[in-house]
């Protein structure tokens, strides 16, 4: 299996955590949910996992962050649209 670039994966994981915090802070904003779902899907594809939780755990292990908790606080990431919505951050497939 090909493994993703560690720097790109670290940026994606940081973006996922920032989007996760944004959704928790403003759950009524659909565009934040879409951005989180897109990022979760990308993590799932890169890490060859079926759920966002499994993809995050795999990414953290690969980056050597296992057991260190979420990435440090960052400013919210910009929103990108598009992508497949089959995977949700909650781990349920649609």
pLDDT digits (tens, 9 = 90+) for 35-73: 999 999 999 999 999 999 999 999 999 999 864 454 444
pLDDT score for 56: 97
Helix or strand or coil: residue 42?
helix
The mean pLDDT value of the chain amounts to: 80
pTM for this predicted structure: 0.68
pLDDT score for 1: 65
pLDDT band at 90 (very low <50, low <70, confident <90, very high): low
pLDDT score for 36: 98
Domains of the chain: which residue ranges?
Answer: 6-67
pLDDT score for 73: 47
Q: How far, rounded to the nearest angstrom, does the alpha carbon of residue 87 sit from its chain's CA centroid?
A: 11
% of the chain at pLDDT higher than 90: 65
CA–CA separation, 83 and 67 (whole Å)? 30
């Amino acid at each position: 299996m090909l493994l993703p670039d560690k720097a790109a994966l670290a940026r994606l994981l940081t973006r996922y955590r920032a989007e996760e915090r944004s959704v928790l802070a403003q759950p009524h904003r659909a565009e934040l949910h879409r951005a989180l779902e897109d990022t979760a899907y990308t993590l799932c594809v890169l890490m060859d996992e079926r759920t966002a939780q499994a993809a995050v755990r795999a990414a953290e292990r690969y980056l050597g962050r296992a057991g260190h908790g979420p990435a440090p606080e960052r400013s919210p990431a910009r929103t990108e649209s598009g992508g497949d919505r089959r995977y949700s951050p909650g781990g349920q497939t649609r």
